[in-house]
Amino acid sequence: MDYDRIREIKLQQRRVTVIRTVIRIKNNTVMVFDEEGEQMPEFQGCYEEVKERILANAPGGSVFNHWFELSPEPEIVPPEAW
């Protein structure tokens, strides 16, 4: 392995994953995605079980959504109403 490849691997390992999008659906299931659109399983699950953990870890720029109906897109809501 060359030096550049080793450096790239180390940078990837240090990358901090940040909550970007949070979606709560009608049955109270929560889906969470990072800034690259990857799912974050450690924050997903039943709303009552993951709510506090998400609110404690989501930065100010995170987008919270309700997707309760059959609309083509979720409704953006403020974190305190989520």
pLDDT at 13 over 70: no
Handedness of CA 39, 7, 59, 71 (dihedral sign): negative
Asked if the structure places residue 47 within a domain, the reply is: yes
Range of the domain at 31: 24-69
Q: How many structural domains comprise the chain?
A: 1
d(CA 68, CA 56): 23
Asked if the structure places residue 48 within a domain, the reply is: yes
Asked if the structure places residue 80 within a domain, the reply is: no
Asked if the structure places residue 54 within a domain, the reply is: yes
Asked if the structure places residue 16 within a domain, the reply is: no
Asked if the structure places residue 12 within a domain, the reply is: no
Q: What's the pLDDT at 50? A: 97
* 47-71: average pLDDT: 95
Name the pTM for this structure: 0.79
Q: What's the pLDDT at 9? A: 65
Mean pLDDT taken over the chain: 89
Asked if the structure places residue 11 within a domain, the reply is: no
Q: What's the pLDDT at 71? A: 87
Of 49 and 70, which is predicted with more confidence?
49
Q: What's the pLDDT at 60? A: 93
Asked if the structure places residue 3 within a domain, the reply is: no
